[in-house]
Amino acid sequence: MFQNAPEEIRMFLHQGCCSICIQQMRCVQPGENSMSISRFDLLRRKFLMGASAAALLPKMVHADIHTNRRRLIRSDISSASQLNYLKSIATWNDDFFADIFDPLFRIGADLTFHPLAARSFDVSKDKRTYSVHLNERLWSDGTPITAADYVAAIQHRAWWSREGGDGLKLLDRSILNLQPYIDGKIQAVEEIGIWALDDLTFEIMVSAPNSEFALTFGTHLFFPFAQHSILDPRAEWENPTGLISNGSYVLAEFEKSDSIRVVRNPHSASDNSLYFDEVVYVSSENGANIQSGKVLKGEVDIYRLLDSDLIGWFNDNRPKQLKRYGQPAVSYLNFNLNSPSVADQRIRQALVMALDRTFLSRDVAVSGNTVTNWTNGLNWVWENDPDAGEQANFKYAPEEAVKIMEGLGYDQSNPLRIQLLYRDRANEADIANAISAMWRRIGVELSTASNSTVDHYNKYIIPGNYDIAIVTWVFDTMSLLDSYTMFSTRTSPNEGNYGAAGNSEVDQLLDEAALIYDLPQRIDLFREVELANRDNVWNVPIRHETGYVVISESLRGVEDDAPTRPLSAELWRN
């Protein structure tokens, strides 16, 4: 039933993949067990990157100690300012949306495809057209879900991306005419390559064969939209009363910056198998020791450690009975090439040469468990050629940096003035202060400013109102292409791709990579992107870190250090 699509992905991953290849990929029939393989955890840490991760937003109020065994309390979201999933889904809200919406398939830890909203899909001989066959399912209000609902959702997402939304990754943009529509080269949204054949079948055409495209079937790209909904799909939903969904749960209560409550969806295919009658989502708070205590006392079942200041404490003090799963991320300095202060490539090179990133990662950013060497903070691009990888690394050469700055007319008596923005966290404040001291020696007077995470990204990073900023990306995608989202310029000016390199040659390399099935060849193109960044310095990684989600000992259905996030529908109590 799924042999065509999984086979082409499997062939892509096997070609030259060596020690980091995936040994099997297949479709799992309903009711069949699928065992996770540990190498996928390695895959996550080496391959997975893409979406930006702005962490804490305004805090919500925690619920009181609960005694209802059928209520699950999750403190693993941070923003409930708007719930229009067609505009975007923030990484830190994925768990909430995964509970109320089903994608076409659930892609397992071993990359098996589990039928959910869809029962199967086929791929044309030219590998450009995907035919998706839906299961007969109902919306949470009892209305039948149709293929037209999926077509409408893609069209609305495209409209949002053209208007400034940030919900589409590079892999998503493989759909025919999607990028030209976002760029304004095509005006009619109906020209995008998706259409319904009948109520239970729709087709997607991609602009060129792409062996990874089927991975989008397990993402929010294919969350449908109920066309009869009272909510305007092209408006922000600050009060999403009436939100219709197709997942295990349905929205029951929403209090902005307070809490979200969902209850069983009576029309869900999984309703009879659910243990929890309701799930309450409250925001994470600072203080790992306090929050871990709340998990121990039963006030919270699942708690996400979003603040990187807390990771070191948690690693040393985790109560043995608490389970966890990790979420790797990388933090880096992003240079705004449109800022006069850092527009000169030589200045950016000198700034990087003056950074002792080993010291920043190991001694200042205590939570940085790995010193980040290469562009994306990952070394899989260079792992088979470490000598070449070292050539691609950013050098620490403060004396050379001083000479460059002196040649440009700057020294400690006549400093270059630059501003560095960071989020209001002690961890990042320490990093900013250390960087200020390092750059003072080469003739840079650094002013710093901290903002809330919301303002940091929405008021400064995305509009481009900054010189240099500390930015974080969470590894949340299976696509190799999406690992390089930060370098693409194929987005609207205000779309949120704050790491854009602003280089058409890089865009061309990514275009070429999207058409290549052979993994070593694709990685060769990624190497060129990393070398381009080494020479042009659009951003420089500072540290690797791992955020953790703490899980109560009373919950079953998830193992310690699980490679994937636990869904509420898969959990139960002792």
Query: What letters, b where the CB count within 10 A reaches 16 and e where it falls short, cover 253-285?
Result: ebebeebbbbbbbebbbbeeebbbebbbbbbbb
Q: Rounded to whole angstroms, how far apart are CA atoms 323 and 308?
A: 19
**Phi and psi torsions of 245, nearest 5°:** -135, 175
- CA-based nearest residue to 374, from 394, 404, 397, 403: 394
Please tell me the predicted confidence (pLDDT) of residue 379. Answer: 58
Tell me, what's the pLDDT at 169? 81
- The tokens describing 273, both together, are 């198998």
Q: 392: which 2 tokens?
A: 């691609």
Q: How many CB atoms lie within 10 A of CB 411?
A: 15
Q: How much is the pTM?
A: 0.77
Question: What's the pLDDT score for residue 27?
Answer: 46
pLDDT at position 51 is 25
pLDDT at 235: 92
pLDDT for 231: 95
Tokens of 377: 């903070």
- Residues 304, 301: Cα–Cα separation, whole Å: 10
pLDDT of residue 376: 52
Over residues 269-296, the pLDDT tens digits come to 887 889 999 999 887 654 444 555 566 6
Residue 107's φ and ψ, nearest 5 degrees, are: -95, 115
d(CA 267, CA 141): 8
Q: Which domains are seen in the chain, by residue range? A: 328-546 (3.10.105.10)
Angle at 145 between CA 140 and CA 148, to 5 degrees: 140
Write out the chain's pLDDT in tens, 574 residues.
Answer: 333 334 443 443 333 332 223 223 334 444 443 333 232 233 222 322 222 222 222 233 333 445 588 999 988 655 556 688 998 776 667 788 999 999 999 987 677 889 999 999 999 999 999 999 999 999 999 999 999 999 999 999 999 988 876 678 888 888 999 989 988 999 999 999 999 999 999 999 999 888 789 999 999 999 999 999 999 999 988 778 889 999 999 999 887 656 789 999 999 988 788 999 999 988 765 444 455 556 666 778 888 765 555 666 666 777 777 888 777 777 889 898 889 999 999 999 999 999 998 888 878 876 555 555 555 545 567 777 777 777 777 889 999 999 999 999 999 999 999 999 998 876 788 899 999 999 999 999 999 999 887 788 878 887 789 999 998 776 666 677 777 777 776 555 545 555 556 677 888 888 888 777 777 788 888 888 888 888 888 888 887 776 778 888 889 998 888 767 788 999 999 8
Rg (CA), the chain: 23
The pLDDT value recorded for residue 36 is 31
Nearest CA to 61 out of 280, 237, 308, 262 is that of 280
Judged on CB neighbours under 10 Å (0-12, 13-18, 19+), 441 is middle
User: Which pLDDT value is given to residue 90?
Assistant: 66
- Measured CA to CA, the distance from residue 478 to residue 221 in angstroms comes to 14
- Looking at residue 33, its pLDDT comes to 38
Residue 130, beta-bridge partner list: 123, 204
* Distance of alpha carbon 420 from alpha carbon 456, whole angstroms: 11
